Amino acid sequence: MSKRLFSGIQPSGNLHLGNYLGAIQNWVKLQDEYEAIFCVVDLHAITVPQDPVELRKKIIEVAKIYLAAGIDPKKSTMFVQSHISEHTQLAWILSTLTKITELERMTQFKDKSQKDGKEGIGAGLLTYPTLMAADILLYDTAVVPVGEDQVQHIELTRVLARRFNEKFGETFVIPESIVGKKSARIMGLDDPTKKMSKSAASEYNYIALTDDAETVRKKIKKAVTDSGSEIVYSDSKPALKNLLNIFALLYDKKLEAIAEEYAGKNYSDFKNGLAEVIINFLSPFQERLKNISDEEVLAVLRAGAEKVKPLAREKMHQVFDKIGLISY
């Protein structure tokens, strides 16, 4: 039997090219190699305030995005995190083994708590990584494909799994992260020193997967560039490097080939080319997205939940036994 893979995305904000290239594009490739489970992690989304009407729409939209991007429900399993109550049950148990200092050290928590101050954020933002660890450990996951920003959470998951195993006996598989080389960290179009982010202040930070052609052209035109005019891939030109990475990942071409194509041309030629590459990817993707009905996606999610429920139950029986609770 092939090894298990697990990953997920929060149904919050607008999914963007960073989510696609950093996560979903790799998932589509990896689903042939692993027994893959893809989750819509709605309980993670509510660690920051969400509008109920919007949240419900987003949960369905994210699942549709998985399908439109090429996740095949015949090969992979898709479900909604909140439908399997064992996630929160295990998260609670893991939180009793987690030190507050370990949670406070997480970069994502530090960033968010610095922005809003500790008085302005909920306890869920602090304990968020124990829920993520539960997602992963419930299913004997071997690999977790994510963008680089999530590696620290997976490191903590490994620490918690080892800690549990040492204290109570072998129970959890120790998972590993898989991070794409060029896709690890897609940077913001308006600031190449920060990652492209759903929660960015300006919509010029990202290309949303639902942006239309005109919006893509406008955003790429406005994207910051470096000094000079030559199209070269270099650390000294972080903005151009990011745009070239996006180009190469979507076009499935080597960076050298793209640089060669644009030798002697200027930034504006390159940006026009990049906008067209993005549009050529997005339009068929959006066409597929539009044609997936709510009923279809809900059926896939229901079947997925039914498939993973027994796995989660079985793991919780083991955990209850090990820690001295009474299984029911």
Q: Which residues are catalytic?
A: 112, 195, 198
Which one of ligand LTN, ligand ATP, none interacts with residue 195, CB within 5 to 8 A by kind? ligand ATP
Positions in 130-189 near ligand LTN (CB under 6 A): 132, 135-136, 144, 146, 150, 153
Nearest CB to ligand ATP, comparing residues 149 and 296: 149
Positions in 28-87 near ligand LTN (CB under 6 A): 41, 44
Q: Taking a C-beta distance cutoff of 8 angstroms, is the pair 222, 204 a contact?
A: yes
Positions in 146-165 near ligand ATP (CB under 6 A): 146-147, 149-150
Select the residue interacting with ligand LTN from 4, 7, 250, 292 (CB under 6 A).
7
Nearest CB to ligand ATP, comparing residues 98 and 183: 183
Helices (H), ranges, the chain: 17-19, 25-30, 42-45, 52-69, 86-95, 100-104, 107-116, 123-137, 151-168, 213-222, 238-251, 255-261, 267-290, 294-323
Nearest CB to ligand ATP, comparing residues 147 and 192: 147
Closest CA to 21 of 309, 302, 301, 277: 277
Does the protein bind ligand ATP through residue 177 (CB under 6 A)? no
Give the tokens for residue 45.
Answer: 């989304």
Question: Which residues on adjacent β-strands are paired with residue 165?
Answer: none
Closest CA to 196 of 17, 10, 1, 14: 17
Question: Which residues on adjacent β-strands are paired with residue 208?
Answer: 16
Select the residue interacting with ligand LTN from 10, 26, 95, 183 (CB under 6 A).
10
Q: How far apart are CA 187 and CA 143, in angstroms?
A: 24
Q: Which strand ranges, in their side-by-side order, compose the sheet holding 176-178?
A: 77-80, 35-40, 4-9, 143-145, 176-178
Does the protein bind ligand ATP through residue 196 (CB under 6 A)? yes
Nearest CB to ligand ATP, comparing residues 61 and 262: 61
Binding site for ligand LTN (CB under 6 A): 6-8, 10, 41, 44, 132, 135-136, 144, 146, 150, 153
Instruction: Point out which residues bind ligand ATP (CB under 6 A).
Output: 9-10, 13, 18-19, 22-23, 146-147, 149-150, 183, 185-186, 195-199
